[in-house]
Structures are given as C-alpha cells and as structure tokens.
Amino acid sequence: MSQNFDFIPDRLRSGLATMLTAYDYAQDSQSDPWQFAVELSDLMSIGTTLTDIRWLVRRGFAELARETTIPGDANRTFRPLALICIVADAGVVLTTVGAESIRSLLRSNRAHIPASASGLRDEPEGPQSLPSMVGPPAPSVLVVTPEWDAIHRELRFAGQVVKRYRVPARNQAAILDAFQEDGWPEFIDDPIPPDGNQDPKHRLSVTIKSLNRNQLLPLLRFHGNGNGLQVYWEAVPEE
C-alpha cells in the first residue's frame, strides 16, 4: 500500500544535518562534493537506516558510492555502487536538489534538529512536513552478498552460479572459505597459509586473478588494495 511521505522521521534528522554540513563544506572550499562524502557508518551511528539512504537515493536527493581510496592517494576516490549491494565503506553525498530541500526543512523545523548536529538554536516546535519531498516510498531493496558452497564447490551471487570448480583450487578455496565464514565483509586479510619460499604477495595477486577468470557469469570482481595483504570483493555494476 502506497502512502505520501509527508514527514521526516526523528531518527533521520541528525543524518540530514550532517550530510548538509558536508555539502556546504564542499561548496565553501570549491571542492568535489565526494571529498566531503559522509561515511555510511557515521550516518548509521546517529540513527540513519539503510532504508533512509535508499529512499534518498531513489528520490534523487543523495548519491551513494563505494570508497576506493588507499593510503598515499592525494584525493578520496569512489566507485559507483548499486543499491542492491551496499557495503560498509560506502560514502554518501547530497545532490543540489537534495541539499536545497533539506535546507528548507531544517530552517523551518530547527527545534527538531539536535544542536550538536545542526548548530541551530531551539525554536517552538512546528510542523515537520517536507512538501518538496512528497511522494511514494521507494520499494524495499535487499542487500545481496555472495554464497560459497564448499561442498558443491560453487560460488553463487543473486541466485546464480558465478563460478563452478571441477578440480581443486586450494588457494581460491581458502579465500572463499574465509569470506563465507566471516559473512562476506568488505575485505578479508590474506587467509592462504604459507607455502615454502613462495612470495605471499605474489601468490595472493595470482590467486585474485584466478578468482576473476573463467566465471560462468561475470557478476563478481575480486581485487587487492595495493599492499598485497587483503582481498576485496564487489558486485560488477549492471551495464
């Protein structure tokens, strides 16, 4: 059943104020807004939910991307991220339309924004409507992670077989076992046990390349972070 979204939940107000502050910092310093992207973990720690983020993105008020910055980079870097696969290191920025709408809300409802988040003085409580953001709620989107079936030696994603192993692949299996055991976090440390005089960094690099080869459906991509110590995974963006 659809309904008009004519109010802003209290839990979301601190997050909106935080995102607006980041947007204003970028404008003031004449910077790319992504240099001030707010970490998803920070937003969630002050009450914003994944449902809130999905709604903001669906309505065009915010954008979501995965941060790919590594130590030594001069600027923060991001990669587009589909809503179906929200990861812990995602960053969020407001669009121009979103910033204008949220600024209007905060100005008309200052009393509802925690002072620590908005920097605004308390005023008598008023209506919490947001006319410019009225519309049906976005449909629910599930967060999908891969699945490694060690018994059948199949790697699956979104109900489809990505890769099937006909012969043992010990190093690849070690990585997939570790991801599956940990619940498929953003990355894991190299789980491959030492093997004689082999260079572990080179061995990990070769194994990551092997994970990406011969996929029945190219739905997943594995990569390192440049230091040869971790393995990352990501869903391949839809074309």
pLDDT in tens, the chain (239 residues): 233 344 667 778 889 999 999 999 999 999 999 999 999 888 988 888 888 888 888 888 999 888 888 888 888 988 877 666 676 778 999 999 989 988 887 676 543 434 334 343 344 444 444 444 444 444 444 467 899 999 999 999 988 999 999 999 999 999 999 999 988 988 999 999 988 788 999 999 999 999 999 999 999 999 998 888 899 999 987 55
Helix axes 50-58, 10-28, angle to 10 degrees: 60
* Closest among 96, 5, 97, 89 to 51, alpha carbons compared: 5
CB contact at 8 A, 87 and 234: yes
Measured CA to CA in angstroms, residue 71 lies from 35, 75, 151 at distances of 15, 10, 38
Kindly report the pTM of this predicted structure.
0.46
Angstrom distance (rounded) from CA 232 to CA 235? 11
CB contact at 8 A, 62 and 95: yes
Angstrom distance (rounded) from CA 48 to CA 46? 6
Q: Which residues contact 161 (CB under 8 A, 6 or more apart)?
A: 154, 155, 216, 217
**Domain segments of the chain: what residues?**
10-133, 147-235
